Amino acid sequence: MRALKPAGNQVAQVLFKPTTFVHLNHIIKLLKVSADTNNFILAKILHSHLLVTNQTSTGSNINPLNSLINIYAKSNRISVAQKVFDRMPERNLVSWCSLMAGYLQTGFPLQVLKLFKDMTLVDSLRPNEYIFAVVFSACSDGGKALEGRQCHGYVVKSGLVFHQYVKNALINMYSKFSDVKGAMRVFSLVPGYDVYSYNVVLNGLVQQGFLNEAIQVLERLMGESVEWDSVTYVTVFGLCACLKDLKLGLQVHCRILTSDVELDVFVNSAIINMYGKCGKVINARKTFDWLQVKNVVVWTGIMAAYFQNGCFEEALNLFSEMKINDVSPNGFTFAVMLNSTAGLFALRHGNVLYGEIVQSGFKDHVIVGNALINMYAKCGDIEAASKVFLDMMYRDCITWNAMICGFSHHGLGKEAMALFHDLLAAGECPNYVTFVGVLSACSHLGLVKEGLYYLNQFMRQVGVEPGLEHYTCVVGLLSKAGLLDEAEELLRSIPVELDVIAWRTLLSACHVHRNYGFGRRIAEFVLEMDPNDVGTYTLLSNIYAKAKRWDGVVKIRKLMRERNIKKEPGVSWIDIRNVTHVFVSDDCQHPESTQIYEKVKELLARIKPLGYIPDVTAVLHDVEEEQKEDYLSYHSEKLAIAYGLMHAPLEAPIRVFKNLRMCEDCHSAAKLISKLTNSMIIVRDANRFHSFQNGCCSCADYW
């Protein structure tokens, strides 16, 4: 632009000499130069010359005026383009098409459709293929499906559909309407394919989840002599990622390396994403390290790859490395970091990230708000999650789902159900994930009739097909209500393929309701399904121990040894001032173990007058009663709670995380310790969060 300014001045000096006459063909050529170089100043000079020399008032000068409309539209001066258009003595299809394209490019698709109607009424012009290409794009951008289908009928009757760009615009329109069948119908029935056609169809199929159909189109593409471009590779790598098809991904990677396609930031990000989704984070890292120039998109891609494979610490370390390299994070980067933090339950780190988000100006981005809700909910601070939700300016379905599921996971069933009704009142359509949270909330509240209504009627009314997670929630709901026979009947009748977790939910309920005979039968059935499921062995051993069937306990342990199945040891951990302290039952490895054991002993002695009676039935060893009480005293969660009370800041909640299900005795003790110390104690076990306060737990003593 700077280099053209002197030239523009010279042109102005020539054009505004009174004796100068510039031929119209030269004006048109100069306007083309102005359009190609986006030189708005030169366009204004040429326009002024046309006005001064009175060359805009006759129909023969239609071409330079069309060029001016095009230039003004490209320069985002659509109002000026409209004025030029309105003052034209005559207009042709190019005039209308230039103005329509301008409105489309500047984000006014509905104005395009208005112009299209005016064109046929005012100037009685018959639209051509270029006009329809713009109109179809306007229909897709403006969400005008009916008008788009009406225009589709016209181009079919007129034969304009056989123009490649009309066909491509139609495919793109149907894809944006999520009408994959319509896009495929145009793609299959109208002959002639180019790379754009394939790109649009493939992208639409992948975005809508029609992966088998996308593979068929890919096979067709590979069988033809259509040269792939970078968009094709990005889409196909995305397909490989969705399918988690590493073999296909490697083949496509080899193909692009032997092609002339430039490996730009979008292609490299797609490759990194593909390897991440396929579980090959090492390959993703090699691709990342090979790059000479790395922008925020690539950095975010490699962090996401680590996050998707459970390498949360590595993702957070890359975030620090990115900042050292002077690359500023964007909203997607912060979302990945917050979700990685949630994976580590690192609340303090999440708070630090929140501060950076506020400073960077990404606080009001929906994707960041969603990740913040998820992080706070998973790290045990449901109040902070709720505050983020209430403060969000914009919400999508993911926002509502994150908060509903967060409330459910914390045992706050009433809050989850109230929010679900707010979602419906706001006009949002619940989806698959929404109902997982809702049915989980019904389970916490014991709402059997409501849960069955949502599963059997309401979900189908809104077009959500029940899946394994929904049936598992309802099994938990029936089991909690003691309806074990009904839960088993449901499990044996549902139309989806079951996993061990669904049956283990029923088995765990047998343990809670002390229906040991029923539980043994279910456990034997589950072990036939999966002989290596350690959770089932543990529950069955516990059932035998509770029934004082020590011969059964010995039998299970012998079977586990024969099958080389090892029970995971119970581990609890707590973060105090940025340091994570890990505890194992009866472990004396901690530097302050003597003081911790004394604190536990003191707490247990002080809660006995409040009603604490050690639940020796939770001891799964055939030993004396006194020895059983000793076994109970120093479970990992008791040690972690005691340490938190010793060192956590006053009035701060004690947040403990455990890898296994919390035992009944620790649960009873934690309730009374919260009352004794006037503390909020939050324990996240393998199933859910337990919030202990004033002698009560959010789970209502069922978990």
**CA 120 to centroid of chain Cα atoms:** 45
SS3 468: helix
Closest CA to 420 of 431, 410, 409, 411: 431
Mean pLDDT of 169-194: 83
Q: Are 648 and 602 in contact (CB under 8 A)?
A: no
Work out the number of other CB atoms within 10 angstroms of the CB of residue 425: 8
Range of the domain at 583: 571-697
- Asked if residue 351 belongs to a domain, the reply is no
Q: Tell me the residue type at 429.
A: C
| Domain end point (choices 498, 521, 555) | 498
SS3 428: coil
Examine the pLDDT at 220 and tell me if it is beyond 60. yes
Q: Are 102 and 81 in contact (CB under 8 A)?
A: yes
Number of C-beta neighbours around residue 489 at 10 A: 12
Write the DSSP string, 350-400: HHHHHHHHHHHT-TT-HHHHHHHHHHHHHTT-HHHHHHHHHH-S---HHHH
- The residues facing 658 across adjacent strands are 572
Its sign, for the CA torsion 28, 33, 35, 39, is negative
Residue 409 pLDDT class (50, 70, 90 cuts): very high
CA dihedral 182, 184, 185, 190 (to 10 degrees): 130
> What's the order of all strands across the beta sheet hosting 579-584?
579-584, 571-576, 654-658, 681-684, 689-693, 696-697
Tell me the average pLDDT across 261-278. 94
Whether residue 690 is predicted with pLDDT greater than 80 in this model: the reply is yes
What confidence category does residue 100 fall into, taking pLDDT thresholds of 50, 70 and 90?
A: very high
pLDDT for the residue 435: 97
Of 52-61, 323-332, 479-488, 679-688, which range is least confident?
52-61
| Low-confidence winner among 174-188, 391-405, 475-489 (lowest mean pLDDT) | 174-188
Residue 626 inside a domain? The answer is yes
Residue 163: the pLDDT is 84
* Residues 578, 490 share a domain: no
Q: Is the pLDDT of residue 244 over 90?
A: yes
Which residues, including other chains, have CB under 8 Å from residue 413's CB and lie 6 or more apart?
A: 407, 441, 442, 443, 444, 445, 447
Please tell me the total count of domains within the chain: 2
pLDDT of residue 620: 52
Q: What is the pLDDT of residue 26?
A: 61
Q: What is the pLDDT of residue 322?
A: 96
Instruction: Check: CB of residue 629 under 8 Å from CB of residue 613.
Output: no
Q: Hey, what are 271's tokens?
A: 């490759």
> Tokens standing for 457?
């009627």
- Is pLDDT of 362 > 90? yes
| Among candidate residues 450, 467, 498, the one where a domain is terminated | 498
Q: Are 485 and 586 members of one domain?
A: no
Least confident window among 237-241, 322-326, 344-348 = 344-348
What mean pLDDT comes out for the span 430-434? Answer: 96
- 556: exposed, middle or buried (C-beta count within 10 Å: 0-12, 13-18, 19+)? buried
- pLDDT reported for residue 14: 46
Closest to 14 measured CA to CA, from 35, 30, 37: 30
pLDDT at 276 over 90: yes
pLDDT of residue 15: 47
Q: Classify residue 431: in a domain, yes or no.
A: yes
Q: Is residue 604 part of a domain?
A: yes
Average pLDDT of the residues of the chain = 86
Average the pLDDT over 66-76 and give the result.
80
Q: What are phi and psi of 38, to 5 degrees?
A: 55, 40
What average pLDDT does this structure show over 478-488? Answer: 91
CA 63/CA 401 separation, integer angstroms: 56
- The domain boundary, picked from 478, 498, 518, lies at 498
- Distance between CA atoms of residues 414 and 452, nearest Å: 17
> Whole-structure pTM over 0.85, yes or no?
no
Binning pLDDT at 50, 70 and 90, where does residue 60 land?
low
pLDDT in tens, 34-50: 666 666 666 666 666 66
- Does residue 31 fall inside a structural domain? no
Round to whole Å and give the CA distance between 69 and 64. Answer: 9
Do 579 and 693 sit in the same domain of this protein?
yes
How much is the average pLDDT of 438-463?
93
Residues 6+ apart with CB under 8 A from 251: none
Q: Letter for the amino acid at 21?
A: F
Give domain status of residue 625, yes or no: yes
Q: So what's the pLDDT on residue 394? A: 92
Cα→Cα distances 174→142, 196, 203, 403, Å: 13, 14, 12, 33
For residue 482, being part of any structural domain is answered with yes
Residue 375: pLDDT band with limits 50, 70, 90: very high
Q: For position 461, which CATH number holds?
A: 1.25.40
